[in-house]
């Protein structure tokens, strides 16, 4: 496994290993994911996959969803987590959202990965909110800017009820076995969009993801 992490050409093998690890984790914890597709997905294409985020299990859910080579972009604190550190030091892209330079470098690296045909998985809220039950927080602009500039379709995903099984990291309310529903919407294509369409694209994807959730929308007071 460590050997695969040292060679970018072997990243697809590293992804296969973490998909098996995710399946084993779900099996032994009694958690089952059910994926509902609005249409058949062409996994030969590269996507920017955008999902809501309310549980650490969201990473497992997205890992098992993918049928092509992929990488995550996530907060740099994941470098300190022994379960995610190997991936975020190699295949995945850590970002410190408080640093403009870190964000610039992260999205530059993400763009290079996308050009190589790897799909990006990102939680565009940029965090798990503090509210329980969860609210859907506004999306950050980064993935939509990338999608338009590289003409890559966005794949919106609604993770419906992971938070009911394990909210955040589970420290506050614990966890339990159960079935989690994941809805994969139709891709949103960007080849005919320009920079001026970025805000509309972001809002459109937000509404698509929210349409399948029973979440309220976060309102900044």
17 within 8 A of 89, measured Cβ to Cβ: no
pLDDT in tens, 146-172: 999 999 999 999 999 999 999 999 999
How confident is the model over 49-65, as pLDDT tens digits? 999 999 999 999 999 99
175 near 28, Cβ under 8 Å? no
CA distance readout (Å), 129 to 147, 163, 175, 184: 25, 11, 18, 22
Is 172 buried (19+), middle (13-18) or exposed (0-12) by CB count in 10 A?
exposed
pLDDT for res 221: 52
Q: Is 179 exposed, middle or buried (0-12, 13-18, 19+ CB in 10 A)?
A: exposed
Q: Which domains does the chain have, with CATH numbers?
A: 2-217 (3.40.1130.10)
Banded pLDDT at 90 (limits 50, 70, 90): confident
pLDDT of residue 8: 59
> Does pLDDT of 10 surpass 80?
no
Question: Of 132, 73, 81, nearest to 107 (Cα)?
Answer: 73
> If you search the block for the tokens 């509309």, which residue do you land on?
200
Name the H helices within 30-151.
57-65, 85-88, 100-115, 142-150
């Amino acid at each position: 496994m460590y050997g695969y992490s040292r060679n970018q050409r072997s990243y697809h093998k590293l992804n296969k290993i973490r998909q098996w690890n995710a399946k084993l984790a779900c099996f032994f914890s009694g958690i089952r994911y059910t994926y509902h597709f609005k249409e058949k997905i062409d996994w030969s294409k590269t996507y920017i996959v955008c999902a809501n985020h309310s549980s650490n299990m969201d990473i497992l859910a997205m890992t098992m969803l993918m049928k092509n080579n992929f990488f995550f972009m996530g907060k740099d604190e994941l470098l300190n987590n022994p379960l995610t550190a190997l991936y975020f030091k190699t295949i995945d892209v850590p970002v410190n959202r408080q640093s403009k330079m870190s964000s610039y470098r992260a999205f530059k690296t993400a763009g290079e990965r996308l050009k190589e045909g790897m799909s990006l998985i990102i939680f565009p809220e940029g965090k798990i909110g503090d509210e329980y039950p969860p609210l859907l927080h506004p999306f950050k602009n980064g993935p939509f800017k990338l999608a338009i500039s590289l003409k890559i379709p966005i794949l919106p995903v609604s993770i419906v009820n992971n938070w009911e099984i394990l909210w955040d990291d589970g420290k506050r309310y614990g966890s339990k076995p159960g079935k989690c529903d994941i809805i994969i919407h139709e891709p949103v294509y960007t080849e005919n969009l320009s920079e001026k369409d970025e805000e509309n694209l972001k809002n459109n994807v937000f509404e698509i993801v929210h349409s399948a959730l029973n979440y309220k929308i976060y309102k900044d007071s």
